[in-house]
Amino acid sequence: MTFDGKVVLVTGASGGIGRAIARRFAAGGARLALHAHARADKAEALAHELPGDEHAVISANLRDPAAVSRMVDETVAQCGRIDVLVNNAGIFSLHPPSAVDYDTWQEQWALTLETNLIGPANASFCAAAVMQRQGGGRIINVTSRGAFRGEPDAPAYGASKAGLNALSQSMALALAPAGILVYAVAPGFVETAMARPHLTGEMAEAIKQQSPLGRVARPEEVAYWVCCCAQDDASFATGAIIDVNGASYLRS
């Protein structure tokens, strides 16, 4: 895949999927703006590892609307434009309704929705304004199979990803006349630090066997489909939600 001259802003670039996405885009010649919040040092290290030069590292708390706006402005200031926004950053925390108190329940819902849904919505709004001035662009949201199958121990996560799918489709309809195309990529379990507690515990084998392939996804497999959405030939798939879950959950 070739992305020569493209500027790609990846949120959550310090995590496993974010790093794989950044590496794949950079290998195709893109210039990366790597977003991080608490782990900016890892994003800095990644910037030095990537092929090409002049990659930017931008720190922002996605829960802060002003910080999201600054993140987009800094990307343009350092890189000149934004051709692709990848809303990859997200959090997952357990809060089963039968095992937490009401205060914890409220805290988890607020934290998860602000990070996983409202932050990407704000980033999409700000990036779309830039893309409109440029004559087009791509927005690619990393969602989850949990949006479809449910997350009984982390209901706010499932709801946030369902909302992100709906946001993707709404924005695809709203922004297509401006030449801005929007996609969602929905993985299941992926070999990342966030999933490691589940993939090394007593349920690890059962989780792998959810897929007939007998394993979970590698970050590079998710990155492949994200980058596919940024290809010119993917234009007519705008609004699509692409399942990358190894047939562990099939929806009609």
Chain-centroid distance of CA 206 in Å reads 26
Q: Is residue 251 part of a domain?
A: no
Residue 127 located in a structural domain: yes
SS (HEC) of the chain: CCCCCCEEEECCCCCHHHHHHHHHHHHCCCEEEEEECCCHHHHHHHHHHCCCCCCEEEECCCCCHHHHHHHHHHHHHHHCCCCEEEECCCCCCCCCCCCCCHHHHHHHHHHHHHHHHHHHHHHHHHHHHHHHHHCCEEEEEECCCHHHHCCCCCHHHHHHHHHHHHHHHHHHHHHHHHCEEEEEEEECCECCCCCHHHHCCCCHHHHHCCCCCCCCECHHHHHHHHHHHCCHHHHHHCCCEEEECCCCCCCC
- Cα atoms in the 13 Å half-sphere on the side-chain side of 194: 18
pTM: 0.96
Please confirm, yes or no, whether 157 is among the known catalytic residues: yes
CATH of the domain at 212: 3.40.50.720
> What does the alpha-carbon distance between residue 55 and residue 20 come to, in Å, rounded to a whole number?
15
Predicted pLDDT at 194: 77
Q: Is residue 1 part of a domain?
A: no
Which of 157, 183, 224, 249 is the catalytic position?
157
Whether residue 2 lies inside any domain: the answer is: no
Model pLDDT, residue 38: 82
How many residues in total does the chain contain? 252
Angle between helices 219-229 and 16-27 (to 10 degrees): 50
**What pLDDT is attached to residue 216?**
95
- Domain limits at 97? 7-244
Q: Report if residue 252 sits inside a domain.
A: no
Say if 249 falls within a structural domain: no
pLDDT value at residue 185:
98
Per-residue pLDDT tens digits of the chain, which is 252 residues long:
999 999 999 999 999 999 999 999 999 999 999 999 988 899 999 999 999 889 999 999 999 999 999 999 999 999 999 999 999 999 999 999 999 999 999 999 999 999 999 999 999 999 999 999 999 999 999 999 999 999 999 999 999 999 999 999 999 999 999 999 999 999 999 988 777 787 787 888 999 999 999 999 999 999 999 999 999 999 999 999 999 999 999 998
Asked whether residue 159 is domain-assigned, the answer is yes
Q: Which residues contact 101 (CB under 8 A, 6 or more apart)?
A: none
pLDDT, tens digit (0-9, with 9 covering 90-100), for 234-247: 999 999 999 999 99
Q: How many domains does the chain have?
A: 1
Q: What angle do the packed helices 65-79 and 119-134 form, to 10 degrees?
A: 30
